[in-house]
Structures are given as structure tokens and as C-alpha cells.
Amino acid sequence: MNYFQVLSFIFGAVLILTRPAMHLFPQKWNDFELNTAYTEEQPKWVWYVAGVGLLLVGFTWYKHFTTNIPYSLVMSIFLSLTIVKTSQVLFNYQQFRSFVIRVLTQDRKTLAAINVSVMVLGLVVVSMGVFLY
């Protein structure tokens, strides 16, 4: 099993498995998101997680350029797109938190659309691990 296959399985599983939890336990999930993960003041952990995320993206690009794995570019680009969310959490925290509050407490249709999209994306990523890598 190569790096990109493992990355596909782990990343895909996270994308898929977190979505049902949001709908099966909506109040507990909301409490976690609003009172633990995204508190009123930006928690310090977001900077650490962002740093680890950037290291992971960098290492993934390193693996892309130093190994001969077909289609590794796809996973490298896909993983790099997580930097968009990371930058919003880091540099536009209050705006991001307002969005999270609105989606979790008022706009459940948007939440459902996001979750369906993320689950489909997770299935695509897992399929990449099975069929591409």
C-alpha cells in the first residue's frame, strides 16, 4: 500500500464518517462545534492543526515529485484545496464562525447540501484509493 492509497482511505473515511454523526446527533454535534471546536475567541489549537495540515500538504507534494505513483497529482491537488478552509479559519475566524453558527442552527438545508457533497467526495476519494492507487 503506497502513501497516496493510505491518504485516500484515511481522508475519505473522515469525510464519510463525520457526516452521519452530524445528523444522528445534531445537538451534541452543535455543542461540540460551537462550544469546543469553534469557540467565540479563536482557539490556539487551530494554529497547530493548520501547521500540521500545511506540513501534510508539503509532504504530499514531496511524495508526488519523488515517487512514481500514477495519478498522485490528483490527490496532491485535492489535499491542497484544504488550505482554503484552513486559511478561512485562521484569518477570517469570526466570519467563518458566523457561517458555522448559521448553518448549524438556522440553515439546515445548506448543512444537508454540504454533507451530501462531502459524503460523495469522500466516496470518490476512497474509490481513488481502491482503483487508482
Q: What is the pLDDT along the chain (133 residues), one digit of tens a residue?
A: 999 999 999 999 999 999 998 889 999 999 999 999 999 999 999 999 999 999 999 999 999 999 999 999 999 999 999 999 999 999 999 999 999 999 999 998 999 999 999 999 999 999 999 999 9
Cell (9 digits) for 24: 444522528
pLDDT for position 44: 93
Distance in angstroms (rounded) separating the CA atoms of residues 125 and 17: 13
Beta carbons within 8 Å of 40's beta carbon, 6+ residues apart: 97
Distance in angstroms (rounded) separating the CA atoms of residues 60 and 79: 8
| pLDDT tens sequence across 40-75 | 999 999 999 999 999 999 999 999 999 999 999 999
> Structural domain of residue 112, as residue ranges?
3-131
Total number of domains in the chain: 1
